[in-house]
A and B are shown apart, each in its own frame.
Chain A
Amino acid sequence: MPSRRFFAILIPWLAAIAAAFFVSLHLGRVSTDLTRLLPRGDAPEEQLLLGQLREGPATRLILVAVGGGDTQELAEISRRLQAALAANPAFSLVENGSLRLGDPRLEALFPLRYLLGPDAACREDLRGARLRDALQARLRELSGPLPPPDKNRLAADPTACFRALLQAWRPATEPRRMRGVWFTRDGTSALLVAQTRAPASDLEGQQQAVDAIRSAFARAAPDSRASLRLTGPGYFAVGSRDAIRADTTKLSLLGSLLVLLILGAAFRSPWLILLGALPLASGILAGVLAVQGLFGYIHGIGLAMGLTLLGVALDYPLHVISHARFGPHRALGGIWRTLFLGVLTTALAYLALTLTDFEGLAQLGMLATTGVLIAALTSRYLLPPMIDAVPRRKGERGLGLGLSIKRQAPGRLGLILGGLASVILLVALTIHGLPWETDLRRLSTVPEADIALDQRLREEFGAPDVNRLFYQWADNPEQALRRQERALPALEALVAEGRIQGFEAAARYLPSTEAQGRRQAQFPDAECLEADLERALQGLPFRGDAFAPFVADVAAAKGAKPATLSSLRETAGGAEVASLLMPVEKGWLSLVPLIGLDDGGQSVPMPPPGMHYIDLAAASSGLLDRFLGETLSKLEISAAVIWLVLLVGLRDLRRLGRMLVVISLALQLDLVAIILLDGRINLFHLVALLLVLGLSIDYSLFFTRPGQTPKERATTFTALVLCALSSFAMFALLGLSSIAVLHAIGATVAIGIALAFSLSWLFAAP
């Protein structure tokens, strides 16, 4: 049992850790919104892009495919699923292609038909001979083989204005219909589309929506062979969160167990193992608190990557314990300078990240820098007295591994190897190009098969390419709609020229108040309409009073307040309009998604005056490019600073030379290994390389430490083996994960540790 002094430090320390933990929980707010990792962006383009990524209507779509049964069965399931989900407030829109004649959202739209519908059926047909033609057309339909589906509305709508309105609102392309509902072209799966109210970035909301679909399906298809497949941004986000959570928990538990075993075998004392863990825990909490205090929240991915970078902080207590406990007398005093240099350079490397205007990266830098410093300070000032207070067991000896640090390789070999590595790297880069991963989708953790399914379903739906669109700013919805109305002829010309197959625009659904006013002026007044109607009815078999509801409705429309965004909120088409015209921070943003943009000409169609063109995919990969570029440029700055610090701190060019050979070789070879293994380098690889940088500074500093006795060198070597082995165990396990992010980090770091350690050993100083 350790002495009282041990507990006199331990108890306040643990209390501080516990307090920090609760404060952090209370400050709370771990954000899992991937888009927050990206820069805030000042340019309107970037804001639009981020808004789209975060909230855009396309991100709230979940595509549903029900397969594995006969057409009849699948159609039934599709209907039941549609009915159940449409009643669920989690969804703003659920469509399966069915007509749903009695849908209350259609009923709510019906009174607005004259204000919103197309000219021919909703205004021109209300007068004179055109009215008679319309009545005759209805009569033919009545006596036709198939009664018109809107027959019940005939008395109030003899010109079939509502039918024309719905026709005009139909999407340009739709999946094929079988048994009255959407099916894939091959007829094997029924298709539905659900729009969640929660944005894709609200993972809780998305989770609830996905759960709702699953349970509705289970009820809609009991004892059925039918199977449910989902795709869509929100679904992917939920799936990846669950997968990451499960894998991280499993692998880090296993990893911690391995590290415990390694430390247990080395230290043979639970108290010393505890001391090994305390600085790391303190560092993590301090880092998290610093980020929460500064940013108001912490990003989930920033947290995960920050913890990764803090892996280097496990080394500090291990050095201290190894030297204080198992080294020769006063060995501990000799490592402070080396340790200090290591901590300082690592902290500087991570600090560079805080200078970026990418919030996620800045958080990551903040967390890692604070964590490294706190772990080092606690290791320096709290650990030594506590280590002394742990009584030695009988016969406790040094940690001799029977190996020590010897000068292994002449400096010239370093130059040759360094040159060789650079050549390999150059060759690899020439073959592959600099394979930065700039496809945002591939940064996610979605399996390839799911991405392929998503692609296929989108094609089946003929959904507009949500990546390419015109957009426009306005002060208010009315201004936005008027501007769009002026642009409609130019847009229609693009369709006529074949440059695009079609487009979506809010003004096609909702005319501006001004335009609606012009329409109202065109409606005949009640007297005029009654007179025209009387003439039109002559010689037709309709009852004289048959169309009284029609006269009343036109009169109501003439005097009605114009329809606005809010009048469409609960009607059919309302969700579509809301996704095309939306309030943003300053004003209103309207989107005009382009359908079937012809890529052959390579040139982008000229947007109508006042509109701008954006390719979201290109813009997002540009953003990611900048993200990576900025990270790299900040790293260049920190590399220069680190080099200076080491130069001043070591005042030994030969030692610095050896260290640089080790560090640059380790990083270059690791990079080559990543390119060979994964083909591309993504953000997570880059963060992992940062940790490898920190670790190789640490290893090479200790391996090149001059002026030690052989016994001291043996102790240092053992401490380094412990450090490398425990970090390696942790990250190699992560590298086994099938999740791209975890694999990237784990494999990169594990390979980097192996490289940094063996190279440091190879280029050790005497």
Chain B
Amino acid sequence: MSIGQTPRGRSKRLGPESVLTWLLMLSSPAFAVPPGDLSGLMAQLSEVRSVSARYTETIQVSLLEHGIESTGTIRYVAPDTLIESVDGEPSREIRIQGDRIRISEADETREIDVGEHRAIESMVSALRSVFAGNLVELERHFRVRFERLGSKQDGAGWHLTLTPDDAEVAWLFSHIEIRGSGREIHRIEIREPNGDSRTMRFERQKIDPPDG
């Protein structure tokens, strides 16, 4: 339910100071309207037009002595574009738009169809649907578990667990965990059946439109 639909009679009773408090609350992400349920969260996310953030990715593979870490920036533009630019030499950019994935590495660019492989499709869908707040698409590929984190004061923390429906996808990853608060996504973790994982942490996020 949006604020605009608040009954007139009730807003009359708000004094000037309460209006101020109310505006302050809205402008701070931590005090954004707490998503009471999954569809509430998704509705909130769907209002986002674009996001850009720095990220740190950690890949844990049992065959490796230690994890591989990389950093870069990620940018989401509604409704279906995700661009990931990896820092370092050679530079690498992954651009997912519509049905195509374009991977540019040094001088080489290759393109693949999102639908070419089921596992890729599921993974892309997981990322994109969460950014876009598209619950229908998300539930097409996954069983979705939603949890609210922390106390009511923390308000907006949430945790999504996505379990693939498809056996072929499950062969590659057992589940995806996404944590965030309000309209902000903090962490995406892809877990594989053999215990390997990839974790992306986001910081310095710029969300458009900004809260409030």
Query: Which A residues are within 8 Å of any B CB, using their own CB?
Result: 71-72, 75, 79, 98-102, 139, 142-143, 145-147, 149, 151-152, 154-155, 177-180, 541-543, 546-547
Contacts and interface: CB of A to CB of B under 8 A. Distances in A.
A180 B121 contact: yes
Contact of A155 (B63, B121, B168): B63
Contacts of A154: 63
B84 A149 contact: no
B7 to A, nearest CB: 41
B59 interface: yes
B94 A543 contact: no
Interface in B173-212: 192-194, 196, 198
Nearest to A155: B63
B100 interface: no
Contact of B66 (A99, A102, A146, A541): A541
Q: Which 7 A-B pairs have the closest CB atoms?
A: A180-B118, A546-B63, A145-B94, A179-B115, A178-B115, A102-B171, A143-B68
Contacts of B118: 98-99, 179-180
Interface residues of B, number: 35
B30 interface: no
Contacts of A152: 171-172, 192-194
14 contacts: A98-B118, A98-B168, A101-B172, A102-B168, A143-B59, A145-B86, A146-B101, A146-B103, A146-B120, A152-B194, A154-B63, A180-B168, A542-B63, A543-B62
A145 B166 CA distance: 21
Given A142-B61, A543-B63, A546-B63, A102 B117 contact: no
Given A98-B168, A99-B168, 19 more contacts: A79-B166, A99-B117, A101-B119, A101-B168, A102-B168, A142-B61, A142-B64, A152-B171, A154-B63, A178-B115, A179-B118, A180-B116, A180-B117, A180-B121, A180-B168, A541-B68, A542-B65, A546-B63, A546-B64
B123 interface: yes
A145 B127 CA distance: 13
Interface of B: 59, 61-66, 68, 70, 84, 86, 92, 94, 101, 103, 113, 115-121, 123, 140, 166-168, 171-172, 192-194, 196, 198
B64 A543 contact: yes
Given A155-B63, A541-B68, A100 B168 contact: yes
Contacts of B194: 152
A155 B196 CA distance: 13
Nearest to A72: B140
B171 A101 contact: yes
A180 B141 CA distance: 13
A350 to B, nearest CB: 62
Contacts of A177: 113, 115-116
Contacts, number: 79
Contacts of A146: 101, 103, 120, 123
B115 A542 contact: no
Given A102-B168, A143-B70, A541 B64 contact: yes
A149 B172 contact: yes
B176 to A, nearest CB: 13
B103 A145 contact: yes
B136 to A, nearest CB: 11
A143 B68 CA distance: 7
Pick from A98, A100, A142, A155 the residue with the most CB of B within 10 Å. Answer: A142
Nearest to B84: A145
Nearest to A152: B194
A634 B70 CA distance: 85
A152 B63 CA distance: 10
Contacts of B166: 79
Given A99-B168, A145-B84, A180-B121, A541 B65 contact: yes
Contacts of A155: 63
Nearest to A102: B171
Given A99-B168, A142-B68, A149 B63 contact: no
A234 B84 CA distance: 51
A145 B92 CA distance: 9
B74 to A, nearest CB: 11
A244 to B, nearest CB: 42
Nearest to A158: B63
A185 B171 CA distance: 29
Contacts of A72: 140
A82 to B, nearest CB: 11
Contacts of B66: 541
Given A142-B59, A541-B65, A541-B68, A149 B167 contact: no
Pick from A142, A149, A180, A541 the residue with the most CB of B within 10 Å. Answer: A180
A142 B65 CA distance: 14
A79 B167 CA distance: 11
Contacts of A145: 84, 86, 92, 94, 103
Contacts of B116: 177, 180
A7 B115 CA distance: 79
Nearest to A143: B68
Nearest to B101: A146
A4 to B, nearest CB: 80
Contacts of B92: 145
A146 B198 CA distance: 11
Contact of B172 (A71, A98, A151, A179): A151
B167 A102 contact: yes
A87 to B, nearest CB: 13
Contact of A543 (B65, B68, B192, B196): B65
A99 B168 CA distance: 8
B91 to A, nearest CB: 13
Contacts of A79: 166
A70 B113 CA distance: 18
A541 B67 CA distance: 9
A151 B172 CA distance: 8
A641 B115 CA distance: 72
Contacts of A139: 68
Contacts of B119: 99, 101, 149
Nearest to B165: A76
A154 B192 CA distance: 14
Nearest to B66: A541
A318 to B, nearest CB: 70
A636 B181 CA distance: 94
Contacts of B63: 154-155, 542-543, 546-547
A197 B171 CA distance: 30
A101 B171 CA distance: 7
Contacts of B64: 142, 541-543, 546
B134 to A, nearest CB: 13
A100 B118 CA distance: 9
Nearest to A142: B61
Nearest to A150: B172
A158 to B, nearest CB: 9
Contact of A147 (B113, B172, B193): B172
A178 B114 CA distance: 8
A673 to B, nearest CB: 56
A101 B62 CA distance: 20
Pick from B118, B192, B193 the residue with the most CB of A within 10 Å. Answer: B118
Nearest to A146: B120
Contacts of A99: 117-119, 168
Pick from A100, A147, A151, A547 the residue with the most CB of B within 10 Å. Answer: A147
A151 B196 CA distance: 10
B166 to A, nearest CB: 8
